[in-house]
């Protein structure tokens, strides 16, 4: 699929389909010449009852341009255009275009009050890339690819060209990163093993000249990662600790401290000895969406060549029942030296993350953000709309929240107050790995916070946002947009200092 940007007037555009985004139901002055060539039929369509002023309304039809039929799609952006209404409208447009039969489309982007060309172009590009996604590699007769192969974005002002080009690059990068995350999440557990995740990391490292380190079981044992390795014991698949380093701001002694992203990579979660119910267990292949998010975010960062230092760390293994699997009541020793009583083997994500969070201190990070499909309790608290956000630093929490608001990939902060630590008390070890049903997502974050005291840390619980169930079952690619925007804003903030 090819995208291009130019300054051609709408009435001179040539494409199978012409898209006219509008704000309200009044004919804009910029379309007056096109309406004249259509003998007034464009203004008639806009004023018709079938085209409302509700954002996301789409009306397709044909106009007699100089006597020849021209397919036209009217897109309503809403009377008062906002980033949210723009995303809603562009999502609706993307569905229409991808489902249609037009090979080439021209979209005449109007000037939008309060929204610059970069953000508008990024939004429409990302929407089309995401809607064109298909996961068909295991189908004998895959559905046909979309007919759409060429998209031209028209601008009204020459001065917007540079911003639009930057928006196009951002929309493509974020879309590609999200689709990589979706691909990995959608792969079945017999294909997407810890070894496969390491291979995907190697592909990224080769393509974008990243530094790759993969720690094997013996390496982790030598580091004292008894908590992580306890989860992997019941599986025949070898565990991995994958480290990818991107040095966009330099890698010398005076280089900027890195932002470290830690992604939970349980490639299949049976629950272990604390076995999950059979119904819906197939969805536990998605328990590595935190790892997939790290890889998708790094791909987007590399495509954009952001001048930041980012390190991705992925602890990955399977959680399976076996004769040698960790059992409820077992006590394991983490890399930090703290001991953990395993009361429930299905609370395994925190057991692999805690050792990874201890490991990343070696990078002297500026910030650490872990991403994990950690708790069903977060779904109960926030549903499938919002990612759970926890942090030991207010500025970091605020930056992640703002990035979510900016992109629509929203997160909501919950507390990690000391009072919740009482629920993790153990009579036999330094802590238990669960704190009971009350505040389950908070006590999980409280557990992780015990391993993050040496740096600024945030935890994103994506259990409710990383995938969809039901007829639309599949990975969503979230929270790649939030994290890419967070890293972009770090660049802008440092540029102002």
Question: Whole-angstrom Cα distance, residue 291 to residue 458?
Answer: 16
Give the length of the chain.
Answer: 497
* Cα→Cα distances 353→19, 226, 465, Å: 47, 12, 19
Task: Say if residues 418 and 363 touch (Cβ distance below 8 Å).
Answer: no
Q: Report CA 117 to chain centroid distance, whole Å.
A: 23
Question: Whole-angstrom Cα distance, residue 385 to residue 387?
Answer: 7
Question: Whole-angstrom Cα distance, residue 41 to residue 63?
Answer: 7
Question: Whole-angstrom Cα distance, residue 435 to residue 415?
Answer: 15
Look up 299 and say whether it is catalytic: no
Task: Say if residues 186 and 39 touch (Cβ distance below 8 Å).
Answer: no
3-state SS assignment for residue 143: coil
User: Would you list the domain boundaries of the chain?
Assistant: 2-157, 175-496
Determine the pLDDT at residue 496: 61
Determine the pLDDT at residue 495: 61
> Residue written as tokens 């952001």?
306
Determine the pLDDT at residue 107: 97
Considering only CA atoms, which of 78, 24, 37, 34 is closest in space to residue 56?
78
Determine the pLDDT at residue 469: 96
Task: Say if residues 219 and 260 touch (Cβ distance below 8 Å).
Answer: no
Q: How far apart are the first and last CA of the chain?
A: 39
Question: Whole-angstrom Cα distance, residue 151 to residue 102?
Answer: 10
Look up 158 and say whether it is catalytic: no
Q: Which residues fall within 8 angstroms of residue 386, CB to CB, at 6 or more apart?
A: 410, 411, 412, 464, 465
Structure tokens at 481: 């947009």
> Strand ranges (DSSP E) for 170-218?
211-215
For the chain, what is the largest distance between any 2 Cα atoms, rounded to a whole number of angstroms?
A: 85
Long-range contacts from 202-210, C-beta under 8 angstroms, 24+ separation: 204/244, 204/295, 204/298, 204/299, 204/302, 205/244, 207/302, 208/246, 208/298, 208/299, 208/302, 210/244, 210/245, 210/246, 210/298, 210/302
175-496: which CATH architecture? Answer: 3-Layer(aba) Sandwich (3.40)
pTM: 0.96
User: Treating both helix axes as pointing N-terminal to C-terminal, what angle do 161-186 and 117-131 enclose, rounded to 10 degrees?
Assistant: 30
Question: Whole-angstrom Cα distance, residue 190 to residue 376?
Answer: 24
Task: Say if residues 439 and 375 touch (Cβ distance below 8 Å).
Answer: no
| Sign of the Cα pseudo-torsion (460, 478, 440, 362, in order) | negative
What are the φ/ψ torsions at residue 251 (nearest 5 degrees)? -125, 20
Considering only CA atoms, which of 398, 408, 411 is closest in space to residue 464?
411
Determine the pLDDT at residue 255: 76
Pairing state between β 431-432 and 339-341:
parallel
Question: Whole-angstrom Cα distance, residue 28 to residue 108?
Answer: 12
Burial (CB count <10 Å: 0-12, 13-18, 19+), residue 364: exposed
Determine the pLDDT at residue 494: 67
| Residue-wise burial string across 103-122, b where 16 or more C-beta atoms lie within 10 A, e elsewhere | eebbbbbbebeebebbbbbb
Determine the pLDDT at residue 274: 98
Q: What is the mean pLDDT of each run of 10 residues along the chain (497 residues)?
A: 92 90 90 92 89 93 90 94 95 97 95 91 98 95 91 92 97 98 98 98 98 98 98 98 96 84 98 96 98 98 98 98 98 98 98 98 98 98 98 98 98 98 98 97 98 98 97 97 97 68
Q: Which residues fall within 8 angstroms of residue 343, CB to CB, at 6 or more apart?
A: 328, 329, 432, 433, 434
Q: Report CA 229 to chain centroid distance, whole Å.
A: 28
Determine the pLDDT at residue 11: 84
> Residue written as tokens 């954002």?
55
Structure tokens at 252: 């010398």
Torsion of CA 361, 363, 368, 372, to 10 degrees: -80
Secondary structure element (H or E) that encloses residue 123, with its range:
helix 117-131
| DSSP-derived secondary structure for 324-341 | TS--TT-EEE-TTS-EEE
Catalytic one among 170, 285, 299, 350?
Answer: 350
Determine the pLDDT at residue 156: 86
* Cα→Cα distances 473→107, 185, 469, Å: 31, 11, 4
> CA-based Rg of the chain, rounded to a whole angstrom?
25
* Cα→Cα distances 44→9, 50, 74, 354, 357, Å: 21, 11, 12, 63, 61
Catalytic one among 276, 327, 333, 413?
Answer: 276
Class of domain 2-157: alpha beta
């Amino acid at each position: 699929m090819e995208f291009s940007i130019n300054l051609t007037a709408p009435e001179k555009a040539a494409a199978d389909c012409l898209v006219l985004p509008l704000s309200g139901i009044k004919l804009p002055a910029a379309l007056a010449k096109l309406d004249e060539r259509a003998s007034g039929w464009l203004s008639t369509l806009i004023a018709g009852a079938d085209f409302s002023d509700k954002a996301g309304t789409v009306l397709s039809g044909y106009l007699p341009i100089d006597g020849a039929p021209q397919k036209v799609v009217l897109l309503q952006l809403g009377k008062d255009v906002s980033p949210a209404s723009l995303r809603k409208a562009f999502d609706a447009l993307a569905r229409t275009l991808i489902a249609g039969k037009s090979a080439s489309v021209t979209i005449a982007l109007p000037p939008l009050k309060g929204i610059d060309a970069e953000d508008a172009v990024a939004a429409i590009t990302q929407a089309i890339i995401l809607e064109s996604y298909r996961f068909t590699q295991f189908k004998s007769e895959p559905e046909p690819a979309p007919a759409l192969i060429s998209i031209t974005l028209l601008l009204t002002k020459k001065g917007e060209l540079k911003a639009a080009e930057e928006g196009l690059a951002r929309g493509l990068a974020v879309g590609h990163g999200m689709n990589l995350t979706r691909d990995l999440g959608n792969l079945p557990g017999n294909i997407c093993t810890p070894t496969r995740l390491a291979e995907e990391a190697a592909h990224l490292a080769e393509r974008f000249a990243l530094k790759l380190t993969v720690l094997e079981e013996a390496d982790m044992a030598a580091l004292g990662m008894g908590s992580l390795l306890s989860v992997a014991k019941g599986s025949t698949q070898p565990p991995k600790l994958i480290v990818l380093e991107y040095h966009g701001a330099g890698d010398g002694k005076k280089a900027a401290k890195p932002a470290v992203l830690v992604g939970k990579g349980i490639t299949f979660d049976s629950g272990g000895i604390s076995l999950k119910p059979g119904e819906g267990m197939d969805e536990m292949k998605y328990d590595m969406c935190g790892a997939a998010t790290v890889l998708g975010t790094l791909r987007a960062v590399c495509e954009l060549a952001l001048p930041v230092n980012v390190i991705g760390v992925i602890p990955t293994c399977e959680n399976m029942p076996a004769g040698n699997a960790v059992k409820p009541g077992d006590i394991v020793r983490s890399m930090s030296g703290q001991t953990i009583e395993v009361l429930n083997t299905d609370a395994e994500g925190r057991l692999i993350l805690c050792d990874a969070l201890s490991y990343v201190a070696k990078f002297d990070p500026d910030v650490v953000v872990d991403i994990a499909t950690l708790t069903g309790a977060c779904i109960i608290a926030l549903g499938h709309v919002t990612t759970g956000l926890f942090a030991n630093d207010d500025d970091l929490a605020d930056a992640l929240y703002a990035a979510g608001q900016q992109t629509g990939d929203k997160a909501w902060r919950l507390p990690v107050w000391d009072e919740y630590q009482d629920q993790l008390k153990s009579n036999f070890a330094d802590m238990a790995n669960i704190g009971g049903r009350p505040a389950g997502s908070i006590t999980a974050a409280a557990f992780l916070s015990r391993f993050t005291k040496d740096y600024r840390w945030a935890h994103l619980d994506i259990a409710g946002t990383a995938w969809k169930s039901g007829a639309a079952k599949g990975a969503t690619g979230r929270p790649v947009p939030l994290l890419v925007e967070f890293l972009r804003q770090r660049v802008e903030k440092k540029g102002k200092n």
